[in-house]
Amino acid sequence: MSDVGQEVGKAFGLVYAFTDELRSAYDGFGLDIPAKNGAPDDWLLPLSATYAIGMDGVILFADTGVDYRRRAEPLDVLAVLQRSAEAAE
């Protein structure tokens, strides 16, 4: 899925804005973040986020973080989903 302009991320508070110092550093590396985001002058990046939401709309699992290298453990998410499915039986 792609969130051009980070509309969904903004709606859920899952983006962070560049500081002037960080923006200057990215400019120095020639990295055009707004162009990559598909939104002019949008110096934002998404947070890593994983959610599992039950059929009733209740959040069963949530994991967010600013370090893009750290992600939710897939087996943890699977365990939550399996427990939810078993409880529904």
By residue range, what is the domain housing residue 52? 48-89
Say yes or no: 64 and 25 in one domain: no
Residues 42 and 3 placed together within one structural domain of the fold: yes
- Whole-angstrom distance, CA of residue 46 vs CA of residue 25: 18
CA distance 38 to 19: 19
Q: Calculate the average pLDDT of the chain.
A: 90
Domain boundary, last residue among 46, 62, 80: 46
Q: Does the structure show a pLDDT above 90 at 6?
A: no
Span 45-80, pLDDT tens digits: 888 899 999 989 999 999 998 888 899 999 999 999
Give the C-alpha separation, 76 to 52, whole Å: 11
pLDDT tier at 1, thresholds 50, 70, 90? low
Domain match, 18 and 8 both: yes
